[in-house]
Chains A and B, each alone.
Chain A
Amino acid sequence: MTGDRKTPILELRNITKWFGREGDGILAVDDCTVKVKKGEFICVVGPSGCGKSTLLTIAAGLEKPTRGEVLVDGRPAGPPGPKRCVVFQKFALFPSETVAQNIKFGLQMTRVGAAEQEKRLAEQLAIMGLEQFRNAYPSELSGGMQQRVAIARALVMRPEILLMDEPFGALDAQTRTILQEEIQRLHKEQHYTVLFITHSVEEAVYLGERVIVMTRRPGRIKREIVLPRDVAWKQGDIEAAAEHPEFIAARREIWALVREEIVAR
């Protein structure tokens, strides 16, 4: 069972990351602290190269921070694993495996029973609309479908924390909009805990309950903006939301912060 309500399910505490030698190489992330509570949808935005993706890979356990620690449920997080599933910008689907095999991959790694695998697979295929692509290979699918498979592959593990690294960055605008709305809907229904990296302020405002703005490199936390949680304009599609005054105000505020960082010298 998870700890008491107050303990964040994921905490990045004083994370600093040097590439190369400390003091001598490149400082990507400088003393960042992020606390994510269970069921929250946190978005991180910032100018290109600000280290937000690095932060995510550290959260996933794929990189070790130079200083600071990653805590899951108050305890030091171990190596990467299905508790903190990642959805990558470039999909990272295994090209030699079909859609079904890709989605079942994590279940097979963690030795879930065959019957349970099939059950969960069927669930995810239905949720993400992939039934007819069950036996297709990734190379036969469009970008949007591939990312759906990647999301299904992560969600099928029922992860405690879902880490998404600019998942819609490689997709065209139309597909992006559709998937944004789907993620929103999924989150509303299933209450995943999500740490979502993006460079799109609109995306962050639409999806996130808290938006963390990072400075340019070396990345520090510039500001945390809290957004209303169960508002009407978040229930529907992003088109309608974008016309809502609250949305516009939040977007303006956050974009001003990001722009400061882009033009700062």
Chain B
Amino acid sequence: MRRFNASRAFLISLAACVGWVLLWAWVTGAGGPVSKLMFPSPEAVFHRFLRMWTRPYLGSTLSWHIYSSLSIVLAGWILGGIVGVPLGIAMAWWKKLKWIVFPVFQLLRPVPPLAWIPLTLVWMGIGDPARITVVFIAALVPWLMNSMQSVYSVDKLLIDAGRTLGANDRQILTRIVCRTALPTLVAGARIALGNAWTTLIAAELLAATAGLGYVALNASRMLDTDVLLVAMLLIGILGGLLSVAIQLATHVLAPWSLRQSGEE
């Protein structure tokens, strides 16, 4: 393991990226081994991407599909947080509550959120509520587990310090525990959003009439490989953007967790 200059690595990566795209273009181009039916060329993808903004595909333009996916994922994710965070903190703070709720949770946890889709379809039919429910379930697990962990990770020493300075139980919970737990909570939010996004796409494969996952599935059925790739890339990019957004939120909500002292 030799040490590697960071800027050197970056340059190599950059060059490699260009290389990969060129390889892609050649492989799918006129003389290349891969037919357009299996995998589209970069130009085809790009052109289709532009066209989809104005010409509807499967009933909606690209912006509507994006909006549909994003709105469902955010709705389920926020709901998961509203339920998961207070419950998780409460369960970590009051042992008895944990003893009651956790076993139920442990029992339901191994079931992949997707497996609940057929059930929600039977109960709610195809429509937004079914997908929001499944996304909610997917997000709930990390929200809850992480909230509990964030409280546990607060050093008991800080609670002792608070008590010697005259804080009562409520003040300890709000002023010390919740605040110190914030960075971990935000990390949990990020994981929850990742879970939510991945489950949403799956849900759209099964039970939707709009959205990026729906577009992808139908594109593959109709052998529209360029649309398929537009959808896939957008799914990846949006997933990455959501993750970055939360990382930025950490800067706002918990700036102290990122700053480090220069000296030992």
Secondary structure of the A contact surface, majority rule: loop
Among A92, A96, A137, find the residue whose CB has the most chain B CB atoms closer than 10 A: A96
B259 and A140 form a contact (CB under 8 A): yes
B166 and A94 form a contact (CB under 8 A): no
B260 and A92 form a contact (CB under 8 A): no
Known: A109-B167, A137-B256, A139-B256. A96 touches B157 (CB 8 A): no
A90 and B164 form a contact (CB under 8 A): no
Distance between Cα atoms of A110 and B256 in the complex (Å): 26
Q: Which residues of A contact B158 (CB under 8 A)?
A: 92, 94
B254 and A96 form a contact (CB under 8 A): yes
A95 and B259 form a contact (CB under 8 A): no
Q: Which residues of A contact B257 (CB under 8 A)?
A: 95, 139
Question: Which residues of A are in contact with B by a Cβ distance under 8 Å?
Answer: 57, 60-62, 79-82, 84-86, 88, 90, 92-97, 105-106, 109-110, 137-143, 153-154, 157, 163, 172
Question: Which residues of B are in contact with A by a Cβ distance under 8 Å?
Answer: 155, 157-158, 160-168, 171, 175-176, 179-180, 182, 254-257, 259-261, 263-264
A109 and B256 form a contact (CB under 8 A): no
B180 and A62 form a contact (CB under 8 A): no
Q: Which residues of A contact B171 (CB under 8 A)?
A: 109
Distance between Cα atoms of A62 and B176 in the complex (Å): 17
B256 and A95 form a contact (CB under 8 A): yes
Closest residue of chain A to B260 (Cβ to Cβ) is A139
Question: Can you sample 14 A-B contacts with CB below 8 Å?
Answer: A80-B163, A92-B157, A92-B160, A94-B158, A94-B179, A96-B179, A105-B165, A105-B175, A109-B166, A110-B166, A139-B256, A139-B260, A140-B261, A141-B261
Q: Which residues of B contact A79 (CB under 8 A)?
A: 163
Distance between Cα atoms of A143 and B163 in the complex (Å): 23
Closest residue of chain A to B172 (Cβ to Cβ) is A109
Q: Which residues of B contact A57 (CB under 8 A)?
A: 160
Taking a contact as CB atoms closer than 8 A, the residue among A62, A95, A138 that contacts B164 in the complex is: A62
- Shortest CB distance B257–A (Å): 7
Taking a contact as CB atoms closer than 8 A, the residue among A90, A105, A157, A172 that contacts B162 in the complex is: A105
Distance between Cα atoms of A109 and B167 in the complex (Å): 5
